[in-house]
Structure 1
Amino acid sequence: MATVRKRTLPSGKIAWLAGYTDGGGARRFKQFATRKEADAYLLQARSQVAQGTHTPDSVSPTVAEAAELWLRRCERDKLERTTVLQYRGHLQHHIGPRLGAVKLSRLTVPLINEFADQLLTAGRSRVLVSRVMVSLSSIVTEAQRRGLVTANNVRSAKPVRRSSREDVRPEMPSREELKAIIDATPERSRPLILTAIFTGLRGSELRGLLWEDVDLKRGVLHVRRRVDRFNSFGPPKSKAGTRDIPLSPTLLTTLKAWKLACPNGPLGLVFPTTTGTVQGHANILHRIFWPLQIEAGVSVLIDGKDKEGNPIKVPEAKYGMHALRHAAAALWIGQGLSPKRIQTLMGHASIAQTFDQYGYLFEARDDEAALMAGVEQGLL
């Protein structure tokens, strides 16, 4: 039975008490300043109880409390440390300040959409906001699993839509820049740079590559593991990340020679430090790839100072290591490989991801000049 009763508080003020029975048969009450508010709440509560989607505010945790439950499960399930740190960053910098004190029962679709709008207005990218929304949805899903909330309104919300105006093409070296980089690469760094260019491995996959994963007889590289920023080994980013990549003739010859000169270590790494341990990503950038680009003339000029403190223009490398991964995809597409094959070689989880990043390259590959000539020939 649902009722609304008028109450006189000890202070003398008038309040309205809405009472109803929840889905579990328990009697629930909530107080309001006006009868209109009490009636509106009661109408909503009864509808949610009938649909089986009602969670009383009194038993609902806040978003911050539910987030801690979710993060503990992530740690218990042994997710990579970098992944858990990323999730904690979403909670600390984005979700917590705006929604942390909100009870899950009050996490409505309009509130979720408003939250996403606030992040976008504050200058967060659509990619970041999408990732934060995935974390928020995972928080509510874990609360559902524990019986703390009945509905996941984050799934119903559609706060982030992709804008064609923000469709930024991935930065990558041109063919001329790749040639300059290869020509300037010293002998010791040549195996690493050529492998990055001709296999499209992620930086974490390059750093975690073992000799047992390189079949020099068949000329195939097996991607079976990666290392995170803490130099801990783990599986590839997704199931699709486990893949086999054929080696080009020059790269195969280079790796055969490199195996004889490679520093020995207990891990059997293909690209270790001089002592045989895992190389840090920053070490590769600062000691190898960034100086190499400047040597090759693949750089931009930025403001700097000379030894006397006078302002001058100094060269700075144009690309990070991930740009070589994009360059590998562009080279393969230029050779006519199908989108599905590109997806497999890149280790993308879906063909949509491949088209999102490289769709314009597939379009540019078509011989449009020949097509236009054919159209003209039919008329003239």
Structure 2
Amino acid sequence: MTSIRKRSWTAPDGSEKSGWQVDYVDSAGQRRRKQFARKKEAESWITTAAYQVQQGTHTPDSQSITIAKAADLWIKRGEREKLEASTLAAYDQHVRLHIAPLCGDRKLSQVTRPMVEGWRDTWLEKLSRPMATRVLRSLSAIVSEAQSRGYVAQNVVAGVKVRRAKREKPRVAIPTKAELQAILKAASASTEPMAHPLALMAIFAGLRASELRGLPWRCIDFSAATVAVDQRADLKNVIGPPKSEAGYRTIPLPPSAVAALKIWKLACPPSNDELVFPSIAKRVMSHRYMNLTIMRAVQIAAGVCDPMVKDGKPALDQDEQPVMVQRYSLHDFRHAAASLWIEQRVSPKRVQAWMGHSSIQVTFDTYGHLFDQADQDGAVALAIERELAPTRHLDDART
């Protein structure tokens, strides 16, 4: 049963106050009340609340918590589950810089879909579209966590999306074959002995940077010509399990990579974790050193680089020479490996397995255009064969 009645009282300062009080019974049979300044607001609220009670999706304000509190519970759960340090840092940034300042004091029971759509629009105005999407996704995860704890009956954020046109979908940066050849040649001539095996593993095995940094020698099978992935190094250089269950995998290696690894193993300094690519201190190599020191030097030597631009002008070093920056990151070589496999007609499921993707959808979302191109190339080859086949048969008949 629900009712709305006017209520008057005397405030502590002696002034007379009045408001409209809603009395109702929640889904658990508990009597609840909520007060509004205007009758119209009370009537509007009770219409929605009555429907939510009937559907079992109503949460009284007294049993709910703020978005800021829910975010804290969500972050702490991630810490207990030992999520990667970089992931937790990103989540903390979403909450601290974007969610808490905008809506952190709002109780979950008071959040409506129109509110969330307004917050989404605010983030789209202030942030890049990808960042706005990630922040909105974090907010949905926060509410979902609170829902599982009984602080809110439904997740109204789940239905709010950041729409992206197909033309806005970014294409991955993939080095050309000529660039890859130049990089491998420069790496083989580098004074850094691990540069060549590192470049080969990055290009032909498609390992993540964290997997290269945490790769132990026991995972290299020289006789089978494979590399197995069963651990990785996080942002803080701590060795741990792969990113997901799909991260556990075995990838074939070409003879050139096997040969280079055999030579490097003889010169590789021992480390506590028996790493293939240890740091100078014989520990886990930092991502920055591997990417910006070793692979940057290789790319510049190979001519796969571009001048650094600062304030619209080429940056110069102390000798007034242009400062060059590498064209590709370690992750771009991962894309190169996928493109080479796809070009060789490796099936999508096998590409998914070798890349360590959690689902085939991730593989298609990232490399779908390459599979399309491979299919088109195959169709062209078949068409050419059909055109030449009659001529070949005539030639055979004459002989």
1:376, distance to aligned residue in structure 2 (A): 9.6
Q: Which of 130, 133, 141 is matched with 1:130 structurally?
A: 133
User: Structure 2: 5+ residue runs without aligned partners?
Assistant: 309-313, 389-399
Going from structure 1 to structure 2, the CA distance change for 1:339 and 1:37 (only over 3 Å counts) comes to same
Are residue 316 (structure 1) and residue 325 (structure 2) matched?
A: yes
Task: Give the Cα separation in 2 of the matches to 1:306 and 1:272.
Answer: 30
1:374, distance to aligned residue in structure 2 (A): 8.8
Task: Give the Cα separation in 1 of the matches to 2:76 and 2:66.
Answer: 16
Identity of aligned residues (%): 46
How do residues 116-195 of structure 1 correspond to structure 2 at under 5 angstroms? 116-126=120-130, 128-155=131-158, 157-185=159-187, 186=190, 187-195=193-201
Q: Which of 302, 305, 314 is matched with 1:296 structurally?
A: 302
Q: Equivalent residue for 1:238?
A: 244
1:223, distance to aligned residue in structure 2 (A): 0.6
Q: Equivalent residue for 1:104?
A: 108
TM-score normalised by length of structure 1: 0.92
Are residue 37 (structure 1) and residue 41 (structure 2) matched?
A: yes
Are residue 227 (structure 1) and residue 233 (structure 2) matched?
A: yes
> Is contact 2:307-2:322 (8 Å) kept?
yes
1:124, distance to aligned residue in structure 2 (A): 2.1
Q: Equivalent residue for 2:71?
A: 67
> Is contact 2:195-2:298 (8 Å) kept?
no
1:182, distance to aligned residue in structure 2 (A): 0.9
Q: Equivalent residue for 1:79?
A: 83
> Is contact 2:194-2:277 (8 Å) kept?
no
TM-score normalised by length of structure 2: 0.88
How do residues 241-320 of structure 1 correspond to structure 2 at under 5 angstroms? 241-302=247-308, 303-307=314-318, 313-320=322-329
> Is contact 1:17-1:29 (8 Å) kept?
yes
SS at match of 2:315: strand
SS at match of 1:292: helix
Could you tell me which amino acid in structure 1 is paired with residue 318 of structure 2? K
Going from structure 1 to structure 2, the CA distance change for 1:95 and 1:7 (only over 3 Å counts) comes to same
Going from structure 1 to structure 2, the CA distance change for 1:222 and 1:27 (only over 3 Å counts) comes to same
Q: Equivalent residue for 2:19?
A: 15
1:373, distance to aligned residue in structure 2 (A): 6.3
Task: Give the Cα separation in 2 of the matches to 1:227 and 1:209.
Answer: 8
Q: Equivalent residue for 2:392?
A: none
SS at match of 1:305: coil
Could you tell me which amino acid in structure 2 is paired with residue 177 of structure 1? E
Mean CA deviation greater in 261-270 or 159-168? 159-168
1:293, distance to aligned residue in structure 2 (A): 1.1
Deviations 1:54-113 (A, max 9, x none): 111233110001111222222223323322222111111221121211110112222222
Task: Give the Cα separation in 1 of the matches to 2:237 and 2:5.
Answer: 63
1:282, distance to aligned residue in structure 2 (A): 0.4
